[in-house]
Each structure stands twice: as C-alpha cells, then as structure tokens.
Amino acid sequence: MTEPAGATKRTYSDEAHAIKPRDVSFSFDSVPMHYIPGEVLATHIVNVMHLVLPEGERAMAQALSEALPYIEDERLKEEVQGFVGQETMHASSHEGARKHLQAIGLEAESFVDKVAWLVDRILGDHGMTGRAKEEWLKERLGIFAGMEHFTAVIGDWMLQSDVIEDLGMHPTMLDLVRWHGAEEVEHRSVVYDAYMYLDGGYARRARTAAIASATLLPLFIISTAYLFKKDPSEDKGRFWALQWLSATARGVIPNALIFFTEMPRYLRPGFHPSQLGPMDAALRYLAHSPAARAAGH
C-alpha cells in the first residue's frame, strides 16, 4: 500500500504503556431485567452495548486485522494487535450478558442476527482484491475511527458518571460497562492512528466521520425502541421517547447530542484522540475492576 502524500503519522516511541487484552470474568445469574432500578429506558440504552455494538466491534477487529500486513511500524502493529484482542474480549463478554437477558425473557436474537447480517453486508471486505481492496479498507478504517471517537466519549462518561451507581445499578452490569468504557478510553487512538498510517487524507476522514455519526445515532434509537417493545415487563411504561428525554435530563444516560457536538472537535485539522483528556481514570479502574480481579489480574 503506497503512502499518500501529506499523510500525518504518529510515531510510536513511548513504551510507557501498551494496549493489551485482559481476561475478565462476569457472573450474570443475579442480574434482573431492569438492572438500573426504576429506569427501563436507560437499561435498554445500556443493553444496546450488549446486544448490538458487539457486531460492529467484530467488524472493526476484522478490518484492523486486514490492516496489519500494511503496517511496518512495530509499535503501532503491537497496538493494533492489542486492540483486536480487547474488542474480541468485549464481544464475548457482552454475549454472556445477552444470553442471560434472553434467558429471563428479553427476546432479541432475531434483531441481533439482522444487525450482524447488515454489518457484514455493509462493512465486510466483500472479497475485493488489489487497489479496490486497499481503498475499501481505508474507507472502513475511516468509518471505524469516527465511531471509536464516540465510543471513547461515551466510555469516559460511563467512568465519570456517579448517577447510575447512585441509582443502584446492579454491580455486575456496572462493572461490565465501566470496564468496557475504560478500555474504550485506553485504546481510543488506535483505529485513528491506523487510518492515518494507511491513508491520512482529511477529506476521507471528514466524510467517514459524518457517516459514523449518521449511523450510530439511528442505530441507538432503533435498537432501543426495539428492546423496549420486546421488554415483557407489564410496568415498563408506554412512552419510551419521554423516558429517554427524562433520563437524559437527569444525567442517567449520555446526551444523544454528542453525535453532533463532538463532530467539530473530531474534524479539527490538528485533532488527535489523545486530546480527549487524561486516561488516568480509565487505567485506575482497569487496575481495580472486580471482573479483572476475579479473573486473576
């Protein structure tokens, strides 16, 4: 793959920290349907992470794996390999939550299968070869870099917010989303750096960021509405959209406006994901996560 003119690469010279997958162990046996007490809609917003986003994470890991042969920077290659390992662990851990929720009455398998089919049809490699394969890989990396920006912002929100803990969110699910959020913060730069290494073009970065934003927000809305509809609880309420507005106003869930307000920051010419803020909170949580400690870390 040829190096594009004017591409900006980040040189990995700092050996202080390396991205690596962590074994984790979650037990979902005691998790109720509404694991944020009294917050049906907010629970299903979080459920999108368990049921839907892992399909995108698998596609992202596949694209990064395809990029590895083109990366000669050994440090960046190490980061990409660590990222792929982390995303694989995310998908398997959330699958455990999905199976538990399915077992207690939240039917979502058919919806997840449709999302998986759609992700594969849209963001798969399509069997391309040669120049077309390289260009499509760059496009996918640009889209995934934009998506990772939003997941890093949401991950940081999960770490910093005390509201869901104060509401009594089940400790297993609280640990799951904070562990996942912390690793999203930890590896926030990897896909962006891989994109910049292979392409680096600003026009593609802007276009694919717009695609990422325009994809994730409808996906959250449609998925949440579906899960709310499939929720078998008689006391779930009737108007999920009003519950969404209420939960947003009370800080129980992140504000959906981030899919618009974060775009100017991401599109700033000198932007890099490392500017999102210190990752000290993420690393501290990862050092003390109950699930990581249960697995022997």
Tens digit of each residue's pLDDT (9 = 90 or more) over 197-210: 999 899 999 999 99
Q: Position 105: which residue type?
A: G
How long a stretch of residues is the chain?
A: 297
DSSP helix/strand/coil, 106: coil
More confident residue, 13 or 101: 101
Lookup: tokens for 152: 């890093």
Q: How far is CA 106 from CA 34, 36, 66, 109, 229, in A?
A: 11, 15, 35, 9, 10
Q: What sign does the dihedral 149-154-159-161 (CA atoms) show?
A: positive
Query: Please, are residues 154 and 258 in contact by the beta-carbon 8 Å criterion?
Result: yes
Share the mean pLDDT of the chain: 89
Burial zone of 148 (CB within 10 Å; 0-12 exposed, 13-18 middle, 19+ buried): buried
Tokens 């209420």 identify what position? 246
pLDDT band at 54 (very low <50, low <70, confident <90, very high): confident
Q: CA angle, corner 91, sides to 88 and 94, nearest 5?
A: 145
pLDDT at 284 > cutoff 70: yes
Give 263's contacts (C-beta < 8 A, 6+ positions apart): 209, 210, 213
What does the alpha-carbon distance between residue 29 and residue 40 come to, in Å, rounded to a whole number?
19
Q: Report the percent of the chain where pLDDT is more than 90.
A: 69
Tokens 């990995």 identify what position? 12
Q: CA angle, corner 150, sides to 149 and 151, nearest 5?
A: 95
More confident residue, 131 or 1: 131
Query: Please, are residues 134 and 6 in contact by the beta-carbon 8 Å criterion?
Result: no
For residue 250, which phi and psi values (nearest 5 degrees)? -90, 0
Residue 32: how many other CB atoms lie within 10 Å: 13
Closest of 256, 251, 182 to residue 220, by C-alpha: 256
DSSP state of 287: H
DSSP state of 35: S
pLDDT band at 231 (very low <50, low <70, confident <90, very high): very high
pLDDT at 136 > cutoff 60: yes
Q: Position 246: which residue type?
A: S
